[in-house]
Amino acid sequence: MRSEWRTTGQWPLALAWVAYRAWDEQLLKTVLDDADPSDLPVFRAVMAWFRDDFRDMDVQAQRGLKVSDPLERVVAHRMLALAACSLGRQDWEEVTLTAVGVATGRDRGLALTDYAEALYCRGREAEARSARLQSTHEFQGDVVMLVTQLTLLTVLCLRLHEWGEAEQHIRRAQSIEHRLDVTYHRTGLLVQLGLIALNHGEFARALQFQTRAKELATTTLNQVIVSRHAIATLLLMGRRDDALALSYEAAAALDVLNAGSHTILLWVAMTRMMIGDNAGAWQMVDRVQPVTGDDDFHLRLVRAELRRREGCVEAARDEIASVPDEALRGWEFLMWLFPDLCAVRGIEIRPIPQWRITISLDEPIRVWTHGEPLDLRPTRPAAGLLALLSVSGGQISRERALDALDLPGRTPQARRKSLSAAVADLREAMGWPGAVLVSGGVISLGEEPLWNAPKLPAPARADHLCEGRYDPWVLDWRLEHSSLSNADMISTSQ
């Protein structure tokens, strides 16, 4: 095949296609450097995109519309649309929708992602979500792109406060990654799960997701990006010293703590401000040069709060006045840190939700947080431990647990190891280390969430308690409550 392409002059075209599909700038440059300047206009448009030369991109894409190959023309339409968006042309949407309309399969998915990005940049987030969702249907054969779009779709849903839909998309992405053993996006998925937990007021779970994401991040920049969310979470938890230490660590990792500019300094400024060091916060703020719209928002937010704390309420109002309500609500969890500034701005922000854990012992053991089920297998010892804790006021002695639970192991030592393993498994299933505490021979549920009283079966259905489990305490409960039910029946009949 290669020799046939070479003899017919198609080898450069074949390599250009490989470079485009792999998004390999260096390979494409090598191909185009060796080709006649008038050849391969479609791929020259792609190269112009890599160089941010949008005018040349527009010219080459217009030439590309005249090539004979319909697949190349599909790419030309996409490049033309990207150029129109980047140049701010008034017809950008019409050109982009044309690119979507002429494409099929993965190419249509790419055009839809471009459209979603353009809509998002123009503040049309609900429409961007719709376009991004459509793109997922076109990437069924491309796992990496599918997971990418699901992750970005989650971001849009979070900004639109569509918490349930956000979790649905991120769980689907997780399922794909686990099933195919793909780890390409694992850090990003954990970040989004952290944001979901954060927006539900589940700060301890959020911090655990963020900690894992930071551990898996493969670059310093990605570690710093994750650290920003963790800093906000620590501040919301009241752990200001830990937040300050993490912000310093992130700035030092980028070598900008003492000199230079980077937006991570805004997070250093925020933590210094929260500990009362306004002068130190201003020093950091003055070194920041915003890059994105979110950076500009964060800069205005910190400056406005600093001015409010200094008693300059009108200056604070002027600073924050130009920030759209959508931006404030999109970063709602940050605004939770600055309720007085929200009052100055005159915007109402949803209060921090009450974190509740719901447990059902009616039939197999099940557990939910913010209405979403947690992955706790009802037949595992961890589930039995949770059930026992929930009916015991959230606290039991280690000895009581050893007597009451059906734990693996024939010797006391083996059963103690099984109990320790059950504690670890329960912490993992709940999503944060502090879900179960062990101290001085006492096992207890964590204090951070509100643990709702467990749902129990009615006496007539007592044998359905913790269905599938045979812990001694479960058998005793069933016998006791079914006896009460039988006694009630006899009394009624008499």
Chain segment 264-280, per-residue pLDDT in tens: 999 999 999 999 999 99
Task: Give, for 396, the enclosing helix (H) or strand (E).
Answer: strand 395-397
CA 20/CA 406 separation, integer angstroms: 59
Is 326 in the same domain as 434? Answer: no
Q: Which of 349-353, 388-392, 429-433, 484-488 has the lowest mean pLDDT?
A: 484-488
Is 216 in the same domain as 349? Answer: yes
Tell me, yes or no, whether 267 lies in a domain.
yes
Tell me, yes or no, whether 140 lies in a domain.
no
What rounded mean pLDDT belongs to the chain? 91
pTM of the model: 0.85
- Tokens 């992602």 — which residue? 113
What 3-state DSSP class applies to 422?
A: helix
- Residue 358: beta bridge partners? 368
How is residue 444 annotated by DSSP? E
Among 24, 28, 27, residue whose Cα is nearest residue 42: 28
Is 259 in the same domain as 292? Answer: yes
Tell me the per-residue pLDDT of 333-352, one tens digit each, with 9 for 90 and over: 999 999 999 999 988 888 99
Is 391 in the same domain as 336? Answer: no
Alpha helices in 35-124 (DSSP H): 41-50, 54-64, 70-87, 92-102, 105-121
Is 333 in the same domain as 398? Answer: no
Tell me, yes or no, whether 410 lies in a domain.
yes
CA 262/CA 245 separation, integer angstroms: 17
What 3-state DSSP class applies to 372?
A: strand
Q: Which structural domain, as residue segments, surrounds residue 377?
A: 357-486
Domain final position from 302, 327, 353 = 353
Is 366 in the same domain as 341? Answer: no
pLDDT at 489: 47
CB neighbours (10 Å) of residue 114?
20
Tell me, yes or no, whether 181 lies in a domain.
no
CA 189/CA 183 separation, integer angstroms: 10
Q: How much is the average pLDDT of 447-475?
A: 94
Is 259 in the same domain as 344? Answer: yes
pLDDT at 347: 86
For residues 245 and 37, which has the higher predicted lDDT (pLDDT)?
245
Is 241 in the same domain as 341? Answer: yes
pLDDT at 24: 94
- Indicate the number of domains in the chain: 2
CA 448/CA 202 separation, integer angstroms: 8
Q: Are 220 and 239 in contact (CB under 8 A)?
A: no
Domain final position from 328, 353, 378 = 353
Is 326 in the same domain as 447? Answer: no
Is 337 in the same domain as 229? Answer: yes
CATH of the domain at 395: 1.10.10
Tell me, yes or no, whether 4 lies in a domain.
no
Report which residue type is found at 195.
L
Domain final position from 353, 371, 392 = 353
CATH of the domain at 316: 1.25.40
DSSP characters over 187-225: HHHHHHHHHHHHHTT-HHHHHHHHHHHHHH--SHHHHHH
CA 142/CA 106 separation, integer angstroms: 8
Is 299 in the same domain as 430? Answer: no
pLDDT at 490: 45
